[in-house]
Structure 1
Amino acid sequence: MKNWRTWGVVAVSGLLIVLSWITGSDLLMIAAAVVAGWQIAVSAVQALRIRMISIDLLVIVAAVGALFIHNYWESAAVTFLFALGKALERATMNRTRRALSDLVDSAPETATVLRDGQPETVEIWELVPGDTVLVRNGEQVPVDGRVITGRGGVDEATITGESVPAEKAEGSEVFAGTWLRSGVLQVEAVGIGSDSTLAKIIHRVEDAQDDKARTQTFLEKFSRWYTPGVMVAALAIGLITWNVELALTLLVIACPGALVISIPVSIVAGIGRAAKDGVLIKGGEYLETSAKVDTVVVDKTGTLTLGRPELTDVEVLDPAYTRADVLTLAARAETASEHPLAEAIIRGATDEGLVVEMIDHAEPVTGKGIIATVDEHTVAVGSANLLDHAPDNTRLLQLNEQGRTAMYVGVDGRAIGLVAVADTIRDDAPTAIAALHAQGVEVVMATGDAERVARNVAAELGVDEVHAEMLPEDKLTLVKELQAQGRTVAMIGDGVNDTPALATADIGVAMGAAGSPAAIETADIALMADRLPRLPYALRLAQRTVRTMRLNIAIALATVAVLFAGVLLGGVTMSIGMLVHEASVLLVIAIAMLLLRPTLREDRAAAIATQPVEEMFTR
């Protein structure tokens, strides 16, 4: 209704101007000025009530002044063009906020719940935590929850920005607002309505788009003094020259509209684009700060690496055994172990298609490994101390030097092979580090892990600086030291031990925040997908946004300067001044809207390239 009223005023005023030209009636031109100027006058009065001299006041004073000197066309043209500019400005601002409206529109309204084993369609507000929700192929997931039964591919683009559906099976998390593209799922409801991740994202983006950048706050303070200053200057020029039309023209061309709109429209567009790509930025101030980041402090475990040990090496020391024999014996022995490394060996064997049969008994040897009976043979997995004959330690030491945990596999006291496990580097970590370096950002690793392991990972990734064996307070001290050197520091981590450093850094980044409402609320930047390349993408988008803000400010100031020169030199009338002024407003909005273009193609390509084949469901 509001849009119809806005555009209706513009249409009626424009029609009256055309009729005035046809009939030559001054009354129709005055009517056009009144129709277009009425809402402007109301806005000016409302601003005065809160002791603020607005742009609207400049326009209405100029329009009324033009009527008094019988310059009816100038009055109508100024008010019509200003009203048209406001309508276009509102429409384009709505366009920049579409990322948020798309999120709101994606919120589900109904769900199919199983009651006494029978499906029943209910409103979302009728659900309670613990309800079992049925989601069929092609339907929207209505709640945050855990999959009870079923398997399928879920399009999570609204949450994480990922274009490839993620595989979901029993125990997997799903999020409200996502779409099931294959299979059927039964989901236990956990987060409903306002408690869902989608609702928290919408709330976060709303707050962020309304948040003001430092530059915007400065310009608003500037305009509070600038606008009254323009009125005083126009009055002074009018009294000195006794040229009322010149004074009124100065009022019109000095309107700082493009200057005022240049910052908020850029912030809204930048944050909206980021949200659509699964990156939540807390607000305009953090957007500006992110653009200045020159150092990223990154945790190792769970951020640069997968955060869990994986089988990396299997080597044969006795030619009587094959590689498969060595790995199978080690895995079978570890089936009776509760050591964290046992799971990595068993998982590595099953991933290679080997049959790993359980054994009944094994004897853990503290600090050395495990001894088990497998097919009437004594199998040992661990250090050389578990063997009767000491083997050559050269290869084991080499593997350890590479940051891997190497263990002998022995049969009846004799070494037959080696297995090694390590916390492996994420597939997307090299891409992310290379992208940060390309942007001129230095990468500093801060980890509690051993020096040897940390340096091996750093060397493989090309990390600039390594700090190992660090306690939480050490990471905090490191961030403060970097800031004291004049650096703008972003800290990314996923553990509780990273919290003090995350809070102290100029920008705290949470990765894989889709399943963590707390991270969404507290991080300065929340990367919804568990994808490290989203960090350089977020910093790059922040830099683009700040460059856009600066360009828009330059255009706005240049427009005012050129118009001032045009008025003083002659040739620029009130109507021409207002036309150029509104054109500059639309130009800065159009430039800001370029931020809405998708630029995540290369990151998506990297994500798809590293995604397991079983996750690549077709839509």
Structure 2
Amino acid sequence: MQRHILKNKNQIMLISGILIAIAFINKWTIGNMLIFNWALIISSILGVAPIAIQAYQALGVKVVSIDVLVTIAVIGAFLIQNYEESAIVTFLFLFGAYLEQRTLNQTRSAIKELTEMAPESALKQMENGDFEEVEVDDVDEGDILLVKTGGKVPVDGTVLNGEGYINEASITGESAPVGKEKDSKVFAGTILENGTIQIVADRVGEDTTFGKIIELVEEAQDSKSEAERFIDRFSKYYTPAVLVLSFIVWLISKNMELAITILVLGCPGALVIGVPVSNVAGIGNGARNGVLLKGSEVIHDFSRTDTMIFDKTGTLTIGNPAVSETKYYTDKVDETLSYLGSIERESDHPLAKAVLQEIGEIKFLPVENTEVIKGGGIVANVNGHRVAVGNIALMEKENVELSKEAKADAVNFEKNGNSLVLTSVDGKLELMMGVKDQIRPGVREDLQRLKKLGVKNLVMLSGDNQGTVDVVSNELGLTEAHGNMLPEDKAKYVKNLKAQGKVVAFVGDGVNDSPSLALADVGIAMGSGTDVAIETSDVVLMNSDFGRLPHALGLTKATARNMLENIVIAIGVVIVLLAGVFFSEWMNMSIGMLVHEGSILAVILNGMRLLSYRLK
């Protein structure tokens, strides 16, 4: 019976409203008070039923909820035969709850839209070579799938053949189609706007990037900030306090109507809902715009950030460096390049890729006893020779003596903004390459926007040499820039800044800089949909789009400000209403409930403004 009543709460509200309308139309026309009273009595009984059930359920878990206050107030009004007040209060409370639910559903529209984008079926290649439509849950890793024009990509995968343009807005927030061809990566939930492609499934179901985004957004929207936890604790004691205050007023004044009016006016509905609705709307806006904010605690910390630290490669720069200068110190050029290429082929470092691209077609040799020197480079045995590939620090560790010419070359390379890749064979320097990365387009303007948003210190920490770091820093107008930094050095730097009372955000690639991302107040990953980027940070900029960083910071500031506005609205309305009870003659239960529900809608609508937030 209880479940049936709660399920039909909206219908009960509608019937209650119709009965109230009948009562007042009758009063103003026919004037039959019997019909007037009985219509209001039935309306009160129907209306209070779902409220009383919710109050009973709350008391069952030892919580004095808003429903308890309203139930007591309505029963009190009914006992003193103020049927007009009891009927109107129950109708307004139910109508307010209905409007709250509708508007709250709109604030959660971002996650709803994401969920609706989730693919449900896929064209899977069967054993006979034909493609048949199956449910996406029946797709396993390694399966070959066909995606036609207008179709959704069902899994994360790699293009086997075909080409086309894919709308990746569900992953990156960017609506411009992205060209795909053989060996391109594609993501579940994206849409093939034209062309036909065959892909092999790399990740399926909840393991896809899209699945993880939905999971993260849902978790973030359900998380609670310190402010929300405080309000939960506050309302836990505030609501019983209103009940006690009402009882004391009744004992002193013997005025039952005044006491139950205080119960209605003291309801903390807007206070309880004001902060969560801002949180949900802010996270929803981020999800639509390629920014994952992992919870309201992150919003709170990020909005107060005054120091932002950046990794260089892949963050401020494109992360696709190229060799710009080369100097040989040997006559055996082909042999040295063969040693260098054989070692670099085993590395996935961006500098290694640049070196291999520069070398081109060479004879690769077997590599043995490979040792990766953190922050230095690689040492290995190639064709019976000890070969070291890395920076000057590695050369010093290998006791490779640099001539005056080599030292001068290194200085010049660094002045030109190059990272150094030196190659030694059997303790003798044979090759020096200068590798330069391009600064991301628009980064300087984005950094200026961050400054305008209140970030006082813009710092770059890089493992590259100081000369390269200084060139990039000067071009971008950074506050500080430090080179030759190992991962542990970066982490120590973050610790020192936090010890000085700075609120620190670290922006990196989510792999090499994971200690710093974890230590910072806010870890921000430039994530091209990678597992590591999504899992190790507090904020993820999808598709590694640096331009989304100012939007993310502006959004968190707007969300934090919106939360504060809602708290002020909620507390202000309660103060005004209670003052109206004691210092005016016009305040009553019906007016109080109307204003109370209005304040709840006000904070919800204020929170919903965040859904359309755009950085000016």
Per the normalisation by structure 2, the TM-score is 0.83
Aligned match of 2:183: 171
- Give the C-alpha shift of residue 402 in structure 1: 2.4
Q: Confirm whether residue 565 of structure 1 aligns to residue 579 of structure 2.
A: yes
Higher mean C-alpha deviation, range 472-481 or range 302-311: 302-311
Kindly provide the amino acid, as one letter, of the partner of residue 432 in structure 1. D
Aligned match of 1:5: 8
Kindly provide the amino acid, as one letter, of the partner of residue 234 in structure 1. S
Kindly provide the amino acid, as one letter, of the partner of residue 548 in structure 1. N
Deviations 1:167-192 (A, max 9, x none): 21111111111000121111001222
Within a 5 Å distance, the mapping from 1:411-422 to structure 2 comes to 421-422=435-436
- Give the C-alpha shift of residue 300 in structure 1: 1.0
Stretches of structure 2 that go unaligned for 5 or more consecutive residues are: 28-34, 327-332, 345-350, 366-382, 391-401, 422-431
CA contact (8 A) 1:297 1:445 kept: yes
Cα distance 1:310–1:118, how it changes in 2: closer, same or farther (>3 A)?
Answer: same
CA contact (8 A) 2:527 2:533 kept: no
Kindly provide the amino acid, as one letter, of the partner of residue 286 in structure 2. A
Deviations 1:222-273 (A, max 9, x none): 1111111111111111111111111111111111111111011111111111
Quick one: distance in 2 between partners of 1:146 and 1:114? Answer: 15
Aligned match of 1:113: 124
Kindly provide the amino acid, as one letter, of the partner of residue 443 in structure 2. A
Higher mean C-alpha deviation, range 500-509 or range 541-550: 500-509
Quick one: distance in 1 between partners of 2:145 and 2:410? Answer: 52
Secondary structure at the counterpart of residue 552 of structure 2: helix
- Give the C-alpha shift of residue 130 in structure 1: 0.7
Stretches of structure 1 that go unaligned for 5 or more consecutive residues are: 315-329, 350-355, 370-384, 408-417, 603-619
Aligned match of 2:32: none
Quick one: distance in 1 between partners of 2:480 and 2:524? Answer: 19
Cα distance 1:403–1:564, how it changes in 2: closer, same or farther (>3 A)?
Answer: same
Aligned match of 1:508: 523
Q: Confirm whether residue 431 of structure 1 aligns to residue 431 of structure 2.
A: no
CA contact (8 A) 1:513 1:526 kept: no
Aligned match of 2:221: 209
Quick one: distance in 1 between partners of 2:6 and 2:146? Answer: 40
Q: Confirm whether residue 584 of structure 1 aligns to residue 599 of structure 2.
A: yes
Pick one of 287, 296, 302 that aligns with 2:314. Answer: 302
- Give the C-alpha shift of residue 535 in structure 1: 2.0
Aligned match of 1:378: none
Aligned match of 2:90: 79
Pick one of 197, 204, 224 that aligns with 2:236. Answer: 224
Aligned residues: 550
CA contact (8 A) 2:511 2:533 kept: no
Pick one of 486, 493, 498 that aligns with 1:478. Answer: 493
Quick one: distance in 1 between partners of 2:354 and 2:543? Answer: 25
Quick one: distance in 2 between partners of 1:3 and 1:104? Answer: 27
Cα distance 1:526–1:84, how it changes in 2: closer, same or farther (>3 A)?
Answer: same
Kindly provide the amino acid, as one letter, of the partner of residue 310 in structure 2. V
- Give the C-alpha shift of residue 431 in structure 1: 2.8
Secondary structure at the counterpart of residue 176 of structure 2: coil
Aligned match of 1:147: 159
CA contact (8 A) 2:160 2:200 kept: yes
- Give the C-alpha shift of residue 82 in structure 1: 0.5
Kindly provide the amino acid, as one letter, of the partner of residue 401 in structure 1. K
CA contact (8 A) 1:446 1:468 kept: yes
Aligned match of 2:548: 534
Kindly provide the amino acid, as one letter, of the partner of residue 571 in structure 2. L
Within a 5 Å distance, the mapping from 1:337-486 to structure 2 comes to 338=341, 344=354, 398=412, 400-404=414-418, 421-441=435-455, 442-486=457-501
CA contact (8 A) 1:144 1:192 kept: yes
Per the normalisation by structure 1, the TM-score is 0.82
Kindly provide the amino acid, as one letter, of the partner of residue 203 in structure 2. G
4+ long deviations beyond 3 Å = 1-4, 311-314, 333-337, 339-349, 358-369, 393-400, 418-421
CA contact (8 A) 1:96 1:593 kept: yes
Aligned match of 1:65: 76
Provide the alpha-carbon RMSD of the alignment: 3.3
- Give the C-alpha shift of residue 33 in structure 1: 1.3
CA contact (8 A) 2:510 2:527 kept: no
CA contact (8 A) 2:9 2:50 kept: no
Cα distance 1:53–1:163, how it changes in 2: closer, same or farther (>3 A)?
Answer: same
Quick one: distance in 2 between partners of 1:512 and 1:336? Answer: 33
Deviations 1:201-220 (A, max 9, x none): 11111111110111011011
Secondary structure at the counterpart of residue 436 of structure 2: strand
Quick one: distance in 2 between partners of 1:436 and 1:69? Answer: 61
Within a 5 Å distance, the mapping from 1:487-502 to structure 2 comes to 487-494=502-509, 496-502=511-517
Aligned match of 1:550: 564
Q: Confirm whether residue 43 of structure 1 aligns to residue 54 of structure 2.
A: yes
Aligned match of 1:200: 212
Pick one of 136, 140, 148 that aligns with 1:124. Answer: 136
- Give the C-alpha shift of residue 284 in structure 1: 1.2
Cα distance 1:135–1:523, how it changes in 2: closer, same or farther (>3 A)?
Answer: same
Q: Percent identity?
A: 43
Deviations 1:65-95 (A, max 9, x none): 0011111010011111010000100111111
Pick one of 305, 318, 323 that aligns with 1:293. Answer: 305
Deviations 1:105-137 (A, max 9, x none): 111111111223212111112211111100111
Kindly provide the amino acid, as one letter, of the partner of residue 497 in structure 1. N
- Give the C-alpha shift of residue 153 in structure 1: 1.1
Cα distance 1:398–1:520, how it changes in 2: closer, same or farther (>3 A)?
Answer: closer
Secondary structure at the counterpart of residue 163 of structure 1: coil
